[in-house]
Amino acid sequence: MLSESAVKSQILSLISHLPNINIDILYLYTPEFKILHQYLEEGEIIQGYTMSILETKQKQYSGGNWLLVLTNKRFHLFRNPMLGESTHIQIEFNSIKTCTTKKGWFFGKIYIETEAETFGLIQVGKKDYSFFLPALTPYLK
């Protein structure tokens, strides 16, 4: 497990070239960042993240915004509601059958299909999509 400060510094390095994003406000308005350090293992490096609404085909998960984090070892999906239990879904690279993206006028979509489930991240904001896509590109199939 990584420390909270180590995860925060990784996120800071990702957003350092984006002058309008404040790390404290990001943590304040995205509670999923507060639990991120509990699930990342030693040696995992955050390569990108985005927030969106999650759709799945097999299992129902809670509604609302989810945080998708791409590390050098796997994908992580996080939901940390104010009331209720937090949810963490881990997607290993070797379990991914396909990973595709679509970009519309205002929003993007990311689909990750595994043997057991299809994860659709819809309504990814255009700026978030542009920020996350370079990190995701090597895994597109």
Residue 26: CATH number of its domain: 2.30.29.30
Could you give the number of structural domains in the chain? 1
Average pLDDT on 115-129 reads 91
Query: Radius of gyration (Cα) for the chain, nearest Å?
Result: 14
Q: What is the pLDDT of residue 92?
A: 93
Query: What are the tokens at 72?
Result: 């050098």
Q: What is the pLDDT of residue 41?
A: 94
Residues 6+ apart with CB under 8 A from 1: 37, 38, 39, 40, 41, 42
Q: What is the pLDDT of residue 110?
A: 93
- This prediction has a pTM of 0.89
pLDDT in tens, 8-66: 999 999 888 888 889 999 999 999 999 999 999 999 999 999 999 999 998 988 888 99
Q: What is the pLDDT of residue 18?
A: 81
**Dihedral angle of Cα 37, 116, 123, 137, to the nearest 10 degrees:** 70
